[in-house]
Structure 1
Amino acid sequence: MNWEKRFLKAADLMPYGLPRGAESQHLPLRVQALLAQQRETWPQLRNALADLQNVQTKPHQLGAARWLTQFNPARIVSTSAKVDAATIAARPCFLCADNLPVEEMALAFGDDYAILCNPFPVLPQHLVIAHRQHTPQSIEQHLGALLDVTKALGEEFFTLYNGPRCGASAPDHLHFQACRYDDLPFFAHLAEWEIEPLDEADDYVSYTLPDYPFRVLIAESDDRAALMKWFARATTTLAEVTHVEDEPLINLIAAIDEDCWIVALFARSRHRPACYFAEGDAQLLVSPAALDLGGVAVVPHAEHFARLDARPLQSIISEVTLSDAQFRQWIKTLEQ
């Protein structure tokens, strides 16, 4: 089944709460109707959302930051995903239209993207925004699309991107994700905490959060072109500092506040921590990506969930993100 056959039109969504008239084109309302339609017609998603209501969570305090660990057995598919070239080449792409479950439908976004419901959700309204073509995961030429969908979804959602070597379980197919803004602890900290200013230009500001458990680079702007220019410079200098020739290891989250974009860039030192590959009681199967670094760390095994407390969680986060010295070197290079 191709994309055109999967796209739901306004008339398809009206039985699921989409209003008539001009409001029928409002993306947040279309998303709510899509979620309702898919819950009713797609048993896999309906069961996954029911299971999500019963997942166990534990609160942790990482310094001043509030964190959650979530025992989510269904996420073993993503947490344990093999992303080497041979494995990827040997399996059908699960984001291509022809390979989706027959019940899975979508919303068209622009000419290039499809908005889908995530059948392995971490948060209640968990969306996937997939490119319609089978093109590799890369942010370099596609940040503009991420900003556009962030703005269209509005203030109730945030979007995220996981790099092909640090969290994307489909590194061969370009995609973003989106979840409800209020469901990620990071944004509460962003609203509450003092910032450390880094750069203030006419068309953007950048800063970090000194009390966050690792160094994160954040920029705000109402100028799409300026934000894209800043991002290109930030990733180019990060690649230099971390000595990589292609896309540096990054996760990012983005949100919109009125007409101002907020983009948080999580720079990585490695994909998975050493405890992921350990054996016996030393193993903790945690594979951090954007949601984990934003305050919801997913653990698919019950025993590992029981053992994971604040100390090893902080150790994992520190291991897979830049050290303070590396971050300072990056910022110094960026400001030159």
Structure 2
Amino acid sequence: MRRAGRVLLLAAIVAVLIGVLELLHVSAATLIGSLAGALAFSLVLRQELRFPEPLYLLGQAMLGASIGASIDLDTLRSIGGDWPVVLLVSVATILGSVVLGLMLSARGTITRETAVFSSVPGGASGLTVMSRDLGADDRVVTVLQYLRVVIIVASLPFIVNLVFHPSDSGGSARIASTEHLLPALLFTAFSVAVGLVLGRLARLPAGGVFGPMLVAAIVHGWFGAVGVPNALQQAAFVLIGLSVGLRFTRAAFATIRSLLPLALLNIVIVMIMCAALGAWLAHVTDLSPLDGYLATTPGGFSAVLAIATTTGGDLTFVTAAQLVRLLMILAGAPIFAWFLRRR
């Protein structure tokens, strides 16, 4: 099948799934429909289609701008008293996942470095880039990291709906109204363009999200306190879902076939561990159980924030907690590699 035909087939599958999920009132139906459609296209129909990296960055950037427009600086300052708890939860998550990674390497099929970098939640794109230089098998790290991301992104909307029952009132992200469409488009274009450049120059972790988010948080008042138009938000969810789903071809799964049972068990345990830590975080702070869960969800950063924008979650706290863990993971990766090589 030619590329044009594959693109049309993928678009049809995704459109049908999004329509069904919208009828079922599933949170983030656009995101989960795009992901499920891409997985069906790759794994069931055995079709391959390379997703353009610039489009993935564009999706991340538009989501980042949407989140930045919703960040309340007063709320961000109010987190100050809860930072020790956030740090403790992040450290517990990382250490627990390191122990699980070492258990994954016990069979001797992969090295300890590969197992640990495959198991640590969050920072999937950063860890896969760093893994080869740190002595790990980057092929295995990439597949296992994105396997976890796919499982989390696919299960997150259903867990949120079945366990937390969020209201249907919509999220807290600012969405541009029709009469403010031009300022909203200008705001979005400025935040995305400047934010992507800032993210690259400053070498921010997950710069595709954080660069535009920071710019949007600073400048959204200049444009009349508008937000990203809803159509562009939905387009961002589609781009993110397609990018994650299309990474999983049958060839990718072949590289981890012997590890798959243990890897899946590892992912489930990490998810349960993070959910328990999220419940404790919500208990000792003023967070809702849903916010605690989203703040500690192990990976799928863009998807977590997308869910938060559609369920009325505390975007500021969720973003801050996820960012803290992400920074700790990326900064600590070389230290973990050195320690494992010394043993």
In the superposition, the TM-score normalised over structure 2's length comes to: 0.31
Larger relative contact order (CA 8 Å, sep ≥ 6): 2
More strand by share: 1
More helix by share: 2
In the superposition, the TM-score normalised over structure 1's length comes to: 0.31
